[in-house]
Each structure stands twice: as structure tokens, then as C-alpha cells.
């Protein structure tokens, strides 16, 4: 229907944009990385979030093309920040579980890293738990190849999905991103506090780092720092920013 045709048009006429949400390292207080978040600058409806169009795009068979665009744009932007003299930071990209572990994605990532010259260890793939990876073995093979290149893997929305621990066991995971639903009532809900403490402990036992998502208050930040959480992401530190605003923020850190 209408929106499907508009999405094709959007890919052709560059109506998509990436916003970047900074992640702060709790030890240094500095920006350690960003998560790329897709937006559609719709000619009539204005700036749309993925929830408004991504499902329709997937249904219309445009998911792969959107992955291509997002990966290329994110890696290009990360290189531009460096060329502008800013500190090298990692960029996280959300890839659909349907495609993250496919040979097509492996080829795409190899090509994009080659084209852009980005250090592979500055690219982080985010695998959400909200949808299933259908062939775990095939995905593990591809993700292990990615790891050999140096690309990092984060489990997104950790703790809410179908197979949290199975992913951690099967895939070469570098980071856990604690879902924001556990952070929201961290200060008042003893169960959430216990879950968060134990996710951090699990991650550190496995030698991987932890990012808490959806941190909105200084109390949450202080609590997480006390529990040894490595990084935070959320409105308290920064909302997702257009690339220019992110660069201004990085420049202030120089």
C-alpha cells in the first residue's frame, strides 16, 4: 500500500537518517560508544521512529536493504568523526535477528568495513532478544567469523527475550545490554535490583562488559556504578542525537 511505496522511495531519495545515543563509561565519565538508531525523515509526517515503519518495511521485503543502508551510514559516520579529529568511538548497529547470522550479512559487513576503512573493533552488532534467531548453529558460525575480524557482538534487551542464556552460550558475545525495563524501578523494586546485580555479576564472570539501558536519573546511575556496571546509556546522559550534535558533544571531551 501507500507506506510500502513510500519506503522504497525513502531508500532511493535518502530520507533515512541515523541518530546516535552516547554510552558513558562509568569509570572515566567519557563517551565510550554510541548506538545508531534509525529515523525516517518523512516528507509529510516528519521524523518517524522505527516502531512506525520497520515492521511494514520487513513485511515488504525491504529489511535487507535497510540493513545495508544503516550499516554503511553508521560506519561512514564513525570514520567521519575520526577524520574530524574526534576520539575513536564504537558504533552499535541493530540488526534484525532474521538476518544477523546470515552469509549475506557477513558479506555485507566485510564489504562495508573494507569500503569505509573503519577499524572492525569499532563496529558492534546488536542482537535483540525480542525476535528469535532461527538457525542458531548457522548464526554462530557467521558470528564467530565476524569475531575473527574483530567485530563486536552485544546482546540487546538482555533479560527479556526467549533465549538470553542460550545466546550467551552459543555466540561470541562481548557485551550485555540490560533492558531498560529492569532499570526503570531499580531503586524501589528489590527484585529488579537483584536481577541487575546478578546480570552484572554473570557478565563479569564471563569476562564481558555490561551496559545499562534507559538510565534516566542520577540515582540510577549511582546505584549502577556501585554495582560495578561498566557503561550506561539513557536520557540522563544523553538522548539520541543527530550526527552534528554528537560531534559537538565529542568535541567538548577533547
Q: Per CB under 6 A, does 132 bind ligand G?
A: no
* Count of residues near Na ion by CB under 5 A: 3
Which x/- pattern, by CB under 6 A, does the window 24-43 give for ligand G? -------------xx-----
Tell me: does residue 129 bind Mn ion (CB under 5 A). Answer: no
Binding of residue 214 to ligand G (CB under 6 A): yes
CB of 85 to ligand G, least distance (A): 27
Q: How far is the CB of 192 from Na ion (least distance, A)?
A: 15
Q: Hey, what long-range contacts does 7-16 have (CB within 8 A, 24 or more apart)? A: 7/40, 7/53, 7/56, 7/57, 7/60, 7/62, 8/60, 8/62, 10/40, 10/42, 11/62, 11/65, 11/66, 11/69, 15/40, 15/41, 15/42, 15/43, 16/40, 16/41, 16/66, 16/69, 16/70, 16/73
**Shortest Å distance, C-beta 171 to ligand G:** 17
Q: Considering the complex, what minimum distance in angstroms separates the CB of residue 51 from Mn ion?
A: 13
Distance of alpha carbon 29 from the chain centroid:
20
**Number of chain residues interacting with ligand G (CB under 6 A):** 21
What are the strands, taking DSSP E only, across the chain?
16-25, 31-42, 46-48, 90-95, 123-128, 152-158, 175-178, 209-212, 231-233
Site for Mn ion (CB under 5 A): which residue of 94, 96, 106, 238? 94
Which does residue 227 bind out of ligand G, Na ion, Mn ion, none, counting CB within 5 to 8 angstroms by kind?
Answer: none
CB 126 within 8 A of CB 94: yes
Contact status: 126 vs Mn ion (CB under 5 A): yes
CB of 48 to ligand G, least distance (A): 9
- Chain residues that interact with Mn ion, rule: CB under 5 A: 94, 126, 156
Amino acid at each position: 500500500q501507500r507506506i510500502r511505496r513510500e519506503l522504497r522511495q525513502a531508500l532511493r531519495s535518502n530520507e533515512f537518517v541515523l541518530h546516535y545515543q552516547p554510552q558513558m563509561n562509568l569509570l572515566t565519565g567519557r563517551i565510550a560508544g554510541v548506538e545508531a538508531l534509525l529515523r525516517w525523515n518523512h516528507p509529510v509526517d516528519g521524523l518517524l521512529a522505527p516502531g512506525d515503519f520497520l515492521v511494514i518495511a520487513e513485511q515488504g521485503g525491504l529489511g535487507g536493504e535497510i540493513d545495508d543502508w544503516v550499516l554503511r551510514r553508521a560506519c561512514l559516520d564513525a570514520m567521519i568523526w575520526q577524520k574530524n579529529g574526534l576520539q575513536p568511538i564504537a558504533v552499535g548497529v541493530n540488526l534484525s535477528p532474521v538476518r544477523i547470522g546470515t552469509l549475506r550479512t557477513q558479506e555485507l559487513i566485510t564489504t562495508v568495513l573494507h569500503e569505509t576503512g573503519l577499524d572492525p573493533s569499532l563496529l558492534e552488532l546488536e542482537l535483540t532478544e525480542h525476535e528469535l534467531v532461527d538457525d542458531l548453529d548457522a548464526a554462530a558460525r557467521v558470528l564467530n567469523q565476524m569475531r575473527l575480524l574483530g567485530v563486536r557482538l552485544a546482546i540487546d534487551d538482555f533479560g527479556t527475550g526467549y533465549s538470553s542464556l542460550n545466546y550467551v552460550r552459543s555466540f561470541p558475545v562481548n557485551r550485555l545490554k540490560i533492558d531498560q525495563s529492569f532499570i526503570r524501578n531499580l531503586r524501589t523494586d528489590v527484585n529488579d535490583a537483584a536481577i541487575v546485580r546478578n546480570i552484572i555479576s554473570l557478565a563479569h564472570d564471563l569476562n564481558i562488559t555490561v551496559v545499562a539501558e534507559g538510565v534516566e536519573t542520577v540515582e540510577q546511575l549511582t546505584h549502577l556504578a556501585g554495582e560495578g556496571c561498566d557503561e550506561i546509556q539513557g536520557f540522563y546522559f544523553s538522548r539520541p542525537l543527530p550526527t552534528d550534535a554528537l560531534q559537538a558533544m565529542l568535541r567538548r571531551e577533547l
